[in-house]
Structure 1
Amino acid sequence: MRHLVYVLRRLVAMVPVLFGITLIVFFMIHLVPGDPARTLLGVRATDESVAALHQTFGLDLPIWRQYLDFLGRLLHGNLGRSFFYDADVNELVAGRLSATIWLLVAATILSLAISVPLAVLAATHRGSVWDQLIRGLPLLGLGMPAFWVGIMLVLLFGLKVHAFPVSGFGTTPVQHVSSIVLPGLTVALALTPILIRSLRTSLIGVLDSDYVVTARAKGLSPRRVITGHTLRNASVSSITVLGVNIAYLVGSTLVVERVFALPGLGTLMLEAIFNRDFPVVQGVTLVFAVMVVIVNLLTDVTHGLLDPRVELA
C-alpha cells in the first residue's frame, strides 16, 4: 500500500516539473535561429507567402499567446500539428516511440548481461589478473564516444561478419530483435563501465560482512553464497546507478539512432530541429521528460522493494 501511495505522490509531483519543462522548451525553441515558414517555402519565398504561412501556423501571434495555445492543446492531450510533416505530433511520436523503447530495453538487458558476471568475477578474485583487467575496463569504456563505438560495431559485426543489420528497424519482431542488437550494444557499452565499478565495490563490501562469513562457515558453495546471500544486497545501490544512467541515456539515444538509422524519437527530434518544426521538438522533448521521470520513479520503487529498510516518502 505504501508503494502505491508513493507512486501517486510522485505522479502528482510530475505536474509542476512538466509545466516547467514546457516553459523552458517552448521559449528556448523560439530562440533558435531560422524561420519555419522560410524553411518550408525555400529561399525564393516571397514575404507575402511567408506571412500567409505564419498566419496559418499561428506564428504571427504574440509569443505569450502562442504558449497559452500550446498549453491549451497539451491539457487535451494534443501535442499540436507538425509544420514539416503536416501531421499530428501525437501520431508521429506514437509511430517512432517503439524503436526508442526497444533500444532502451535492449541496452539495459545487454548492460546487465555484461556487467553482472564481470563484477562478480572481479569481486571474488580481488587483486588477481582478472580483477585488474576488469577494473581497467571502465577507463577504456568511458573514453570511447558512442558514435565511434557504433561505427566500429557496424564495421565489425555488420560489414565484416554480416551477423546483424547495420541500419533500419525491420517490420517483424524477429527483425526488430536482430536490428536492435548493435544499437543496444552501443548504448550498453557506455553504461557497462559505470555498472561494473559500482557493483564490484558493493559486492566487495557485502562479501566482507559477517553473515556472508557465517554462510561460508556453514559450508555453502561459493555459487550459493553469491546468488543467495550477496548479489541481491549488493545490487541495491547499483540499481540506483542503473536508473540514473538510463534516464541520462534517454536523451543520448539521438546519436545512436542516427548512426544506425533507427526510426526512433531521437531521429525524429534531429529532423525536427533541422526543419525548425517547433511542435515536433516540443512534443518529443516532453515525451523524453516523461520517460526520464518514469525511469526515476521505477528506480526508486525497485530500490524500496529490494531493501525494505528504505522508506518511500
Structure 2
Amino acid sequence: MHRFKFVLYRPIQLLPVLIGVSIVTFILVQLIPGDPARILLGAKATPEAIAEVREKFGLDQPLVLQYVHFMKNLLQGELGRSIIYRAPVLSVVEQRVAPTLFLLIYGVVLSVLLAVPLALAAAWRAGSSVDQAVRVFSTAGIGLPAFWLGIMLMLLFSIELRLFPVSGYGEGALSHLHHLFLPALTISIALAPVLVRNLRATLLAQLESDYVSAERAKGLPERAIYLGHVFRNSLIPTVNLLGVNVSWLIGGTVVIESVYSVPGLGQLMVSSIFGRDYLVVQAVTLMFAIGVILVNFFVDIVTVALDPRVEM
C-alpha cells in the first residue's frame, strides 16, 4: 500500500497549480475588450448608470483588489453574482456541470468500447486486411475536425434520418443517453483513433517481448498470453494517453456543446465571454482546471494499480 502514499500529499502539491490558473485566468479575462457594465445596460446607458453598475460589481476597483476579492469569495464558497444571469455565479455554474460531466463520461466510454476491440483485432491480425482497415480508420479519424464531424452527424442522423435530437440535454437518464449520443459519438470518433494507434503499437511491441517467448515455451495458449498478459501490460501507456486526451476534451467540450447546443459548461463559457461576464468565465475556467487535475490524479492511481513497479 506504500505505493499509494502519494494520494495523501498529491492534493497539497496541486494547490499552487490552482492558484496559478486563477491568476492567469483573471489577467486574461481582464484583457477581453469591452465594458461589462455597458454591455449589460446597452448602448444608450448614461455614464451615471454605468458607474453605478461598475461600483455594484466592484469593476471600478484596481485589478489587485478585484483579484483579492475574488479569491476571498472563492475560499468562502462565494463567487459573486453573474452580470448576465443576475444570479450567484456558483448556482449558475452548478446547473451546467451535470450535462458536461455526463457528456464527457459518455464520450470516453464510447471511445474505449470502440478503441479496445479495434486495437486488439488489429494487433492480433497484424498485416491483414482487418489491420489495414483499422489503420485507415485511425488515420482518417485523427484528421477530422470535431466541429465539422459534429455538423455532418447532425445533418445525417438528426435532420435526414430523424433518429436523434438536434440539440438539448433531455430529462432523465435514458433521455440524456438519447440526446447526447451524437455529441458523445463525435467525441469518440475524435478520441478513439488516437487510442487505437497507441494501443495497437504497444500490443505489437509487447508481443515481441522476452516474457511472451518464455510463456510460449511453457506451452501457454496464445489467446491466454495475449489477453491475460500482453493486453494488461499494454494498458499502462494507453491509460496515460487517455488521461491526457480527456484533459484536452474537458476544454474541447466548448466546441461540441456549441455545435449541439448542450447546456453545459462549454456553452456557458462561450456566452459569458461574449457577454463579458468575468466572474462566470473565471469560475468555469477554474472548474475546467479542477477537472484536468482530478483526471490526472485518477490516472496516477490507475497506473500504480496496473503496474506494481510504479511508485509516484
TM-score, normalised relative to structure 1: 0.96
Q: Does 1:95 align with 2:81?
A: no
Counterpart code for 1:211: Y
Q: Does 1:80 align with 2:101?
A: no
- Cα deviation, 1:27-78, whole Å, max 9, x if unaligned, reads 1111110110010111111111111111111111111111111111011122
In the other structure, the counterpart of 1:126 is: 126
In the other structure, the counterpart of 1:149 is: 149
- Cα deviation, 1:90-119, whole Å, max 9, x if unaligned, reads 111111101011111011111111111111
* Contact 1:3 1:301 (8 Å CA) reproduced: no
Partner SS, residue 66 of structure 2: helix
Counterpart code for 1:255: V
- Cα deviation, 1:184-210, whole Å, max 9, x if unaligned, reads 111111111110111001101112223
* Contact 1:106 1:184 (8 Å CA) reproduced: yes
Counterpart code for 1:232: R
* Contact 1:146 1:256 (8 Å CA) reproduced: yes
* Contact 2:157 2:164 (8 Å CA) reproduced: yes
In the other structure, the counterpart of 1:306 is: 306
In the other structure, the counterpart of 2:249 is: 249
How does 1:1-313 map onto structure 2 within 5 Å? 1-2=1-2, 4-216=4-216, 220-312=220-312
Distance 2:151 2:16 in 1: 40
Counterpart code for 1:308: P
Distance 1:157 1:134 in 2: 24
Deviates more, 1:175-184 or 1:129-138: 129-138
- Count of aligned pairs between the two proteins: 312
1:137 Cα deviation after fit: 2.3
Distance 1:33 1:19, change over 3 A: same
Distance 1:80 1:8 in 2: 32
* Contact 2:3 2:311 (8 Å CA) reproduced: no
1:161 Cα deviation after fit: 2.6
Distance 1:83 1:143, change over 3 A: same
Counterpart code for 1:93: V
Question: Once the two structures are aligned, what percentage of the paired residues are identical?
Answer: 46
Distance 2:213 2:57 in 1: 69
1:125 Cα deviation after fit: 1.2
1:139 Cα deviation after fit: 2.3
Distance 1:213 1:107 in 2: 37
Distance 2:17 2:211 in 1: 43
- Cα deviation, 1:157-202, whole Å, max 9, x if unaligned, reads 2223322222100011110111121111111111111101110011
Distance 1:160 1:233 in 2: 44
Partner SS, residue 167 of structure 2: coil
Counterpart code for 2:78: N
Across the aligned residues of Structure 1 and Structure 2, the Cα RMSD in angstroms comes to 1.4
1:3 Cα deviation after fit: 5.1
Counterpart code for 2:95: G
Partner SS, residue 5 of structure 2: helix
Deviates more, 1:88-97 or 1:162-171: 162-171
